[in-house]
Amino acid sequence: MSDSPHEFLHPAGWKPAVGYANGVAARGRTVYCGGLIGWNADQQFETDDFAGQVAQALRNIVAVLACAGAEPRHIVRMTWYVTDKREYLESLREVGRAYREIIGRHFPAMALVQVVALVEDRAKVEIEATAVIPDGEGPGSEGVAA
What is the per-residue pLDDT across 90-127, written as a single tens digit (0 to 9) for each? 999 999 999 999 999 999 999 999 999 999 999 999 99
Q: Is residue 113 part of a domain?
A: yes
Q: Is residue 82 part of a domain?
A: yes
Residue 2: the pLDDT is 65
Q: Is residue 62 part of a domain?
A: yes
What is the per-residue pLDDT across 3-16, written as a single tens digit (0 to 9) for each? 888 888 989 999 98
Q: What is the CATH number of the domain that holds 84?
A: 3.30.1330.40
What is the per-residue pLDDT across 127-139, written as a single tens digit (0 to 9) for each? 999 999 998 886 6
Q: Is residue 46 part of a domain?
A: yes
Domain count, the chain: 1
Residue 145: the pLDDT is 37
What is the per-residue pLDDT across 47-76, written as a single tens digit (0 to 9) for each? 999 999 999 999 999 999 999 999 999 999
SS3 percent helix, strand, coil of the chain, rounded to 5, is 25, 30, 45
Q: How far apart are CA 99 and CA 96, in angstroms?
A: 5
Q: Is residue 12 part of a domain?
A: no
Q: Is residue 71 part of a domain?
A: yes
Cβ atoms 39, 55 nearer than 8 A: no
Q: Is residue 21 part of a domain?
A: no
| Closest CA relative to residue 35, chosen from 108, 141, 120 | 120
- The pTM of this model reads 0.89
pLDDT, averaged across the chain: 92
Cβ atoms 135, 28 nearer than 8 A: yes
Q: How far apart are CA 41 and CA 47, in angstroms?
A: 14
Structural domain boundaries, residue 71: 30-132
Q: Is residue 137 part of a domain?
A: no
| Closest CA relative to residue 132, chosen from 61, 80, 63, 77 | 77
Q: Is the pLDDT of residue 1 over 70?
A: no
